[in-house]
Structure 1
């Protein structure tokens, strides 16, 4: 019997387990949204060079995730306390790497590129080790669709609070205060995790399975879900990488409005999660995710009509796309937990699955930065551009490309998952 079956996953358990999601999401926004814009404007790093740095660092980050997943499984087999100890080391690496990344001790162009590459890899290593173990812990608590979605919703809902804080504090208080706040919430998140409900020990995997990093790919349900997740993830990663450029150059909004746009996006996502959980209760995880994709497509289609000065319209775009984001955050992870249960590997191989899951997330982000930024430069866009050709290129990259990718993801979700529920349900 899983812990969740014995004790309903209520507020106390939700806060204890989910609070670490707040600092992990808090740090993710500066790393994936603010960093490209920060290095381009503050340090003058060219977009093509910056894209190459981000691509290389994120590919490194993606490649280590499956290895970290297997390490996590071995630590879980030893004891939850071993996992928490590794989490403390990972949190320290994350904090140090983040501070060095945003406050470089060098200033020449070549040295800045080298420094950014090294500190990004350090930061990503700590972030990934912590994330994989934390996600695996939640999946090991098990339960039915509603229970699994509640566990993920606590983690992602508190994470969205972290993202809202991260969208406001850099502009309102500056990066030094943002960094100090991150240190505090990271320490609190780890301490709360030490008091979270612990998964019950499970029997070991069959001979040979425990050492195979490729174990998840032996199951068709995982392969199908991963295809959908990657297509949808790239669709979300491209506008996340480009949003500040869109706000500054296409919308031509003052910098002081950036917290409003980002805050409305993530706040709407956080507030939408209880709504999506109610939808899951009525129609199930996969159909609810499909509805969210449809909303995102409609919203980004409308965003193609938003021009300079239309800040109110863009706030609405941010809010609607944030509501759609709620499904991306709360539902795929719950579907993955169902795949693990359906494969009979609960409590034994979550790290392997979430290692590859996070590999997909990082690969999406790497492709978004490594392809979108150099292509924009190729078509004549640079930060501060105002000519029609450059802004049209930005519009296509920010709005049209995500819509096409979301359509592909929605088609795959319907034909690969919804039409084959036995592959993803225990």
Structure 2
């Protein structure tokens, strides 16, 4: 089994990847709507288009990752080039040279596609690298825990810098973190290189194998269905959290504290979820996390202006539940790859589709929730009662519905052999 030190070297790249995801997926909608006055419907359309475009290239990136991982040194070079592009795209996105609505929307679309592409390539490579390291349930959950644990601290750091220090410092720290992450990956455990003959054989097999190969397994199809439904439930609050804090609670000055404690609680809970996974299995542990998430988010519907303490309790409970979402699915994914007999040959393909599902969830959350809020009468910065009620139901009630659907599926498939 890999040591904690070796697992940490692999996982460190998760910190800057989660760091950049916080501004991209949480801060960007509220920042561009508030700072530049972009209409929610138009911004939601841009986010939907760019995230969908980004999501559908991930399976192809997964195939490239499988080829590069045959020689880990080549995969490292690809990761280095990708993080350089990611840092550049981030700077261009958050420091636009234009301010007029139409040019700014176009600038956002172009820079988002570029940034998402670099982010996706790095994320797919990192996920596939860890999946290829494999191991038993304990090792798989340990690798996932270090990757996601570092990711949570990356989110905490981004939360502080993006809200307190500005996007200039955020961009600089991101660049340094990406460089450090790739360096640590080069010093950590590497997948076994594939011989030239085996690599040529694998390349020929990839050329004749459809991108949909992972979907041929029933275990992967069930896991993805569960991951998609549960992911929509998580993506909607992530898109709307700053709107809720700003207008429903009227406590925008407390946003760093709320978000910080939410992700800190998730980070502190990760070791406990890993231990629970080892005792009762990843599927049952995931189901418990879903149930706790429902119990916390349904309480959002009773909050109003100034209810800081109540929202703080919700953040603590929801953050702890998030730990299950971060550890159980990745552990299940590696197990699915192993049981399908695709070890050391198709981890990138699985990782690509996994990233596709993550992006699809975020795209649907932005493309559906933001226009729906506008149609229901909510306008950022206003105090219309009907609009605020709509915000509460979309932010807190709708995710509970998706979580309950995921919980039913989780219970139904808890004994499936491919999801053990």
TM-score range, shorter chain: over 0.9
1:323 aligns with 2:320: yes
1:310 aligns with 2:307: yes
SS in 2 for 1:304: helix
Q: What is the TM-score with the length of structure 1 in the denominator? A: 0.95
2:233 corresponds in structure 1 to: 235
Q: How many residues align?
A: 414
SS in 1 for 2:164: helix
Give 1:205 shift: 4.9
User: Which residue of the other structure, out of 116, 138, 161, is the alignment partner of 1:124?
Assistant: 116
1:134 aligns with 2:130: no
Q: Deviations over 1:291-323 (max 9, x none)?
A: 000000000111211211011111111111011
Q: 2 CA distance for matches of 1:304 and 1:201?
A: 53
Q: Deviations over 1:319-375 (max 9, x none)?
A: 110111101111101100000000011111000001011000000000000000001
Q: 2 CA distance for matches of 1:234 and 1:397?
A: 12
**Mean Cα deviation higher: 169-178 or 266-275:** 169-178
Answer whether contact 2:69 2:191 (CA < 8 A) is retained.
no
1:256 aligns with 2:248: no
Q: 2 CA distance for matches of 1:29 and 1:297?
A: 23
CA RMSD of aligned residues (A): 1.2
User: Which residue of the other structure, out of 137, 150, 153, is the alignment partner of 1:158?
Assistant: 150
1:68 corresponds in structure 2 to: 61
Give 1:376 shift: 0.3
Give 1:147 shift: 1.2
1:5 corresponds in structure 2 to: none
1:295 aligns with 2:288: no
Alignment of 1:164-179 (within 5 A): 164-179=156-171
Q: Deviations over 1:179-206 (max 9, x none)?
A: 1111111111111111111112455559
Q: Deviations over 1:96-141 (max 9, x none)?
A: 0000000001122111000000000000000000000100010111
Q: 1 CA distance for matches of 2:202 and 2:211?
A: 13
1:244 aligns with 2:246: no
Q: 2 CA distance for matches of 1:408 and 1:347?
A: 34
Q: 2 CA distance for matches of 1:259 and 1:54?
A: 24
Unmatched segments (≥5 aa) in structure 1: 1-7
User: Which residue of the other structure, out of 94, 98, 103, is the alignment partner of 1:106?
Assistant: 98
Unmatched segments (≥5 aa) in structure 2: none
Q: Deviations over 1:192-224 (max 9, x none)?
A: 111111112455559645542111011000000
2:343 corresponds in structure 1 to: 346
**Mean Cα deviation higher: 14-23 or 228-237:** 14-23
Q: 2 CA distance for matches of 1:200 and 1:268?
A: 36
Q: What is the TM-score with the length of structure 2 in the denominator? A: 0.96
2:216 corresponds in structure 1 to: 218
2:373 corresponds in structure 1 to: 376
Answer whether contact 1:342 1:424 (CA < 8 A) is retained.
no
1:27 corresponds in structure 2 to: 20
Answer whether contact 1:84 1:194 (CA < 8 A) is retained.
yes
Q: Deviations over 1:274-305 (max 9, x none)?
A: 11111112111100000000000000111211
Q: 1 CA distance for matches of 2:341 and 2:202?
A: 10
